[in-house]
Amino acid sequence: GGGGRPPPSTTTTTTTIVGGPEAALSLPFGDGHRQHVRLFQPRAAFAVVDAADLAASDDADHALDGASLLPAPDAIGTMIAPTDATGLSSPLSALKSKQRSTVLDEVWSLVDKYYLDQTFGGQDWNAVRDKYEDKLDLDRNDDAQTMKLATEMVKSLGDKYSRVLDRESYARIQKFDLIGVGATLMPDSDKRLTVGAPPVSGSAADLAGMKAGDFVTAVNGVPTEGRTAFDIIDQIGEDPNAGTVTMTVRTVGPDDLANEGYVRDLALKREFREIKDPVSYRIAERRSDGTVVGYVRASEFNSLVKPRLEEAIRDLESRGANALVLDVRGNPGGAFQSAVEIAGLFVDDALATSVVDGNGVELPFRTSKGRVVADKSHPMAVWVDGRSASASEVLGGALRDNCRAVVMGDRSFGKGLIQAVYGLKNGGGLVLTVARYMTPAGTDIQGSGISPDIGGPKSPVPFVMSTDTSKVDFGDIKKRMSPPMCQAPMS
């Protein structure tokens, strides 16, 4: 309902995050004991992924609702030297060493480190590893067989959102790549920005000769030292229409010492594969009381949504709009960090959501400072329905709990889980549930969705989505956005 939303009753825990300052934005965390705690190290490439689609379709264009792509930990792509199942450094047999160098073991290790459910669906995960490794025919060196076994192993988790992607499906996911060069960037254990997985085949990064393990020391001439993946995305986002991005890359050879290696500047062409413009907008009404209603629809959270939405808001306000409807009905989500960035167009330096990993470690995501483009005094409604999911719910929850908008329409889908997308060394990928999120007021919407504050206008034609805003009471919305009806949580 539209009643006040008091600050959350639970206290957000503060933790020391492996990777230090990165945590302030959105990454995997660590408690100093298990690296796996470092949940979300957004990789610059497609940074955070927040999802898989509502039905967990096998169609790769719907395989994610976004995160996000959610970055990865420090061991994405090619894994470290094999160890035994206990994680100790005791020597392995020749057979086990060979098994532990396959994509199957790479997938097993990623699940072991980062999967949200640390009971692995009630399975002994080490026993699962042995079971599927014993099925490998190493003499055949058959990638198709390995991927089939990896797929079966991930399915054993019983998680409809986690899945293995072949090369083609992984390439299609690049519509969530916010940089557009096909490289997965992430900090290593020393917080140096690296290429974390083999670049997408045929991408600008691949054609330029970038390899997994290369260090990216500068982007467009700005050093990367001390900066996070989100910082890089924000930097590039300052000129979203730029056709190229220049990365200073250092390749370290086997005989090179620390900080040595082959350094070169690579001018990489940015390409966004057949990405549709997700935003449409118009002045919907000019009412006799002076209310000018701007209507904006966002169909998905792909790499174009933030700049296009910002452009739409600026244009609508320049044409006199003083009330806004943001329609995310039927929007299954998209890049997780896009939802956080879009929230920053409306609220300044505020808690947008909190992410919790499998160890219960909580990490806050905040909106940017100084990026608000919408007049804060203008009433706003976020229009949702039962197919609004994941990143759509992140955005709706962020704006509502910060008293910047009301949620209008029907209860949302209720997807409060976040998936990371990891590149594999054979060019495929792994989509893995790594965390859950809560709204700023501490609401866990998994399975229950966001309950609307007000009902939305109904279409007179069955199965046709109405965009009529004439029945929306913006005077009531303004009251609901203000104290005492709404109290933003302390952040």
Q: Which residues are identified as catalytic?
A: 390, 415
H or E stretch including 147? Answer: helix 143-155
Tokens for 205, please give them: 């990064």
Q: Identify whether the C-beta of residue 384 lies closer than 8 Å to the C-beta of residue 407.
A: yes
Phi, psi (rounded to 5 degrees) for 99: -65, -40
Alpha-carbon gap, residue 322 to 316, rounded angstroms? 9
d(CA 133, CA 97): 11
Rounded to whole angstroms, the Cα distance separating 46 from 180 reads: 8
Q: Compute the distance between CA of residue 95 and CA of residue 357 in angstroms, rounded to an integer.
A: 34
* CA–CA separation, 465 and 456 (whole Å): 11
Q: What is the CA radius of gyration of the chain?
A: 23
Question: What is the sign of the dihedral through the CA atoms of 200, 204, 206 and 211?
Answer: negative
Q: Which helix (H) or strand (E) holds 414?
A: none
Give the ranges where 211-356 is alpha helix by DSSP (H): 229-237, 305-318, 336-343
Q: Which helix (H) or strand (E) holds 126?
A: helix 125-133
Tokens at 300, concatenated: 């998905």
